[in-house]
Structure 1
Amino acid sequence: MNEPHHHSSLDISVGGEQALDLPARGQAGKRARFAVIVVALLLAAGATRTIVSNLMNAHHLADVTKQNAKQYVSVVQPVAAGADGRIVLPGTLRGYVEAPIYSRANGYVRRWYADIGAHVQQGQLLAEIDTPEIDQELAQAQAQRDQAASTLALAKTSFDRAQQLRQRDAVSQQELDDRQGAFNTDQANLAAADANVRRLMEMKSFQRIVAPITGIITQRNVDIGDLVNAGNGGAGHALFSIAQSDPLRLYLDVPQTYAHQVAVGQHVSVTEQELPGVTFDGTVTRTAQAINVATRTLEAEISLPNHDGKLLPGAYVQAALQTDAKGLLTVPGNTLLFRSEGPRLAVVDADGKVKLKAVEIAQDLGQTLEISRGLEATDRVVLNPSDSIADGDSVVVVAPNKTEAAHEAAKRSAT
């Protein structure tokens, strides 16, 4: 009877331990479910963050793309041409007289007396040439002249004697005529010999190279011992060059647009970049009275006094002519578009839209263009337009910085 009782107690003990494990297992299950929920929430939050981030990046990329698609341009307004009543043209100063000096005799340079920069007077000796061949030719010509003179003297004596004999009818008329013909021939031979001697003496005088004008030696191309030839052959360059620097000549190519406004006696203001703040007054002395077909310009000659010698022949200068350029507008040269239809300017309207205007260029002045048709004074012209710009493009006008604006203004005012 004791054994069943023993087994019963054991069963109760085991059942109690199982009953005690049930709450622990429930708590573990709750913790697991909580962890799963937390992980799921974290995953959902990460996914939501990723989706939101992708949407934000997509919107940002769209904004950047839209921003980059905009064209930013700088504009400038046309300026009335001749607003200051003048047009500035480049030119090169030339001596009033410029004389290259060549040798008229063949020989060797014996010595020279004037170098570059020397002020020389008309007739002043510049160099001497040794001419041995001419000396020998002159000696031969003088001997031939003496021979012709002796022959003429004999012919004259024979002719005079024949005349006397003819009076006594001692010789025939034919013989008298023959002696007279011989006398006339010898007389002509003497005249030819005299002319040849004078020619060679003139050639010998050319061994002295003298200044043909009063001026300044600008070039010396020979030295002692150099072989020179008569004229500009052989050596191919002048022995000396002389320029008369007071007054100076200035030749301008005036565009056809202003050709009718240039008159003889008109005053011209001349400036040189190397002499800032100094202005020289010149006068139009003559014009070509014809338009050059190749350049469509009128050549005008300006006389410029140079008493103090500040201006140098050959210097590059700018001359301002008083003009009246009504109706013309100027724009910078970097606004022009070259299209197959012709020259165009890109103009921005009030709505920020581009319009390509066909224009007619009156004159290309280098840094600026004069427009005679197709442009209004109120137009906003695009600077440095891209080749891809087209009608209807939307652009954003930006103001150039002060440095660029000042530089652009300085270039335009200088032009």
Structure 2
Amino acid sequence: MTHSKPRTTASAPRSRSRLAILAVSGLCVAAALTAGIFPRWHSFGALQLRAKSAEIPVVSVVSPRNAAAVRDITLPADVQAYDDAAIHARVNGYLRRWYADIGTSVKAGQLLAEIDAPEVSDQLRQARADEATAAANYQLASTTAKRWQDLQATNSVAQQETDQKVADMHAKAALLAAARSNTSRLAQLASYMQIRAPFDGVITARNVDTGALIDAGSAPSQDRELFHISAGTRLRVYAQVPQDVSAATVPGTRAWLTLPQAPGQRYPATVTRTAGAINSITRSLRVELDVDSQDGRILPGTYAQVHLEVGSAHAGLDLPANTLMFPASGPAVAVVDAENKLTIRQVALGRDFGSHVEVLSGVQENDRVVVNPGDGIVSGMPVRVAAPAKGDAA
């Protein structure tokens, strides 16, 4: 007993040291578990919240705006002279002389060229001689018939002979009329030896020179035209209007022209007439506009662009084209209601503005319409609106 007491006293501090080490180790393990598990649980919870949030699609919306009552339609156009003519010869011969060159301004009836055709002149002289002969024969037959009528009144000659003289007078009168008609025809033909301007205008082409052989006619087998003349003070502009706006394009519609060689310049024009029928091939309406040449700044044959101001009596609402859906039932849009749920609405479309369209019915100005709706959206689906977007101007 006396020797065991020191052992007990020495082992007590060792036990306490082991307990302290175990306690510290347990605290370290607990701290490690706390630092590793709790953040994982927190991250897992946040992940679940994000997953639930991702189940609700995010959409962008736009509000409809009033569509423009009048819009500008730009169309390619062809500018032509109000009066335009190719001048051909009516007699055969040689060109004696020309008096008007390309670019010359001429007046109606002004002499442009002369053709030397002696055969026509000789035929005219012969016709006039034949007319004089017929006139002399008629004069003799008329005098003879008058005498025989006077003699028949006194029963000095037979009625048969008197009738023959009167008939001969009428025959000579018919021959005189035929001779005069032939003379007039040849005189008119001789007048074609002088080429004259049919109206006021500008010579745009001269295709003959002095001494050139001239063949009468304008058939493709004949020679080309002698001159070409255009009246350039007033111009015609032709354009093809698409069928969807043809009903709004009527005589009196305001328009203007723009030219490639004059950027920024606008030349006023007016629709004066339409074809009155849609072309079955192009599905367009041919319209004609009148425009002033602006002192020669607009030339015949110019390519231009016509800007038509086409109005609508009942303008609808304007929406971007990327808000439309096209299910089997027809055009539709997706609208977000006050509870942020989708509603699919059928719409009636009006004018097509390109990137925007006119909606005649189905939406209101205060509706929130989904932009770029996906294929998987259905009515009643909850959504989250990302941010309000303003519709572009029509």
C-alpha separation between the residues in 1 aligned to 2:239 and 2:215? Answer: 36
TM-score, with structure 1 as normaliser: 0.58
Aligned partners of 1:166 and 1:172 also within 8 Å:
yes
- Is the aligned partner of 1:218 residue 2:204? yes
Letter in 1 for 2:166: Q
Aligned to 1:122: 108
1:109 to 95, 101, 122: 95
1:134 to 114, 120, 128: 120
SS at match of 2:263: coil
1:319-356 residue CA offsets vs partner (Å, 9 max, x unmatched): 1112359779789xxxxxxxxxxxxxxxxxxxxxxxxx
TM-score, with structure 2 as normaliser: 0.61
C-alpha separation between the residues in 1 aligned to 2:300 and 2:71? Answer: 28
Inter-CA distance 193–369: structure 2 relative to 1 (3 Å threshold): farther
Deviation at 1:181, TM superposition (A): 0.4
C-alpha separation between the residues in 1 aligned to 2:191 and 2:232? Answer: 28
SS at match of 1:195: helix
2:146 to 160, 178, 199: 160
1:252 to 229, 239, 262: 239
Deviation at 1:378, TM superposition (A): 3.8
C-alpha separation between the residues in 1 aligned to 2:224 and 2:370? Answer: 55
1:137-160 residue CA offsets vs partner (Å, 9 max, x unmatched): 111111111211221122123223
Deviation at 1:228, TM superposition (A): 2.6
SS at match of 2:286: strand
Inter-CA distance 321–185: structure 2 relative to 1 (3 Å threshold): same
Aligned to 1:347: none
- Is the aligned partner of 1:186 residue 2:172? yes
Letter in 1 for 2:208: V
SS at match of 2:272: strand
Letter in 2 for 1:211: A
Counterparts of residues 2-401 of structure 1 (less than 5 Å): 85-233=71-219, 234-323=221-310, 378-379=371-372
Deviation at 1:108, TM superposition (A): 1.9
Letter in 2 for 1:103: A
Inter-CA distance 173–266: structure 2 relative to 1 (3 Å threshold): same
SS at match of 1:276: strand
Deviation at 1:161, TM superposition (A): 2.8
Inter-CA distance 106–377: structure 2 relative to 1 (3 Å threshold): farther
Q: Which has the higher helix share?
A: 1
Inter-CA distance 133–369: structure 2 relative to 1 (3 Å threshold): farther
C-alpha separation between the residues in 1 aligned to 2:321 and 2:208? Answer: 51
Aligned partners of 1:255 and 1:363 also within 8 Å:
no
Aligned to 1:348: none
C-alpha separation between the residues in 1 aligned to 2:226 and 2:351? Answer: 42
1:174-232 residue CA offsets vs partner (Å, 9 max, x unmatched): 01100110011001111111111111111111111111111111111222222333331
Deviation at 1:90, TM superposition (A): 0.4
Aligned to 1:55: none
Letter in 1 for 2:287: A
1:295-319 residue CA offsets vs partner (Å, 9 max, x unmatched): 1111111111123211110010111
Task: Give the number of aligned pairs.
Answer: 269
Aligned partners of 1:92 and 1:250 also within 8 Å:
yes
C-alpha separation between the residues in 2 aligned to 1:311 and 1:162? Answer: 75
Letter in 2 for 1:244: A
1:233-273 residue CA offsets vs partner (Å, 9 max, x unmatched): 35353221111112211011000011112122222121111
Inter-CA distance 197–272: structure 2 relative to 1 (3 Å threshold): same
SS at match of 1:278: strand
Aligned partners of 1:329 and 1:377 also within 8 Å:
no
Letter in 2 for 1:323: V
1:103-146 residue CA offsets vs partner (Å, 9 max, x unmatched): 22222211111111111111111111112221121111111112
Inter-CA distance 297–369: structure 2 relative to 1 (3 Å threshold): farther
Letter in 2 for 1:173: Q
C-alpha separation between the residues in 2 aligned to 1:315 and 1:188? Answer: 56
C-alpha separation between the residues in 2 aligned to 1:226 and 1:363? Answer: 60
Letter in 1 for 2:165: R
C-alpha separation between the residues in 1 aligned to 2:250 and 2:223? Answer: 40
C-alpha separation between the residues in 2 aligned to 1:259 and 1:229? Answer: 46
C-alpha separation between the residues in 2 aligned to 1:280 and 1:84? Answer: 19
Inter-CA distance 171–369: structure 2 relative to 1 (3 Å threshold): farther
SS at match of 2:268: strand
Deviation at 1:281, TM superposition (A): 1.0
C-alpha separation between the residues in 1 aligned to 2:103 and 2:370? Answer: 52
Aligned partners of 1:287 and 1:301 also within 8 Å:
yes
CA RMSD, 1 decimal: 3.2
Aligned partners of 2:102 and 2:205 also within 8 Å:
yes
Note the residue ranges of structure 2 that are not aligned, 5 or more in a row: 1-64, 323-349, 360-368, 376-394
Letter in 2 for 1:297: S
SS at match of 1:123: coil
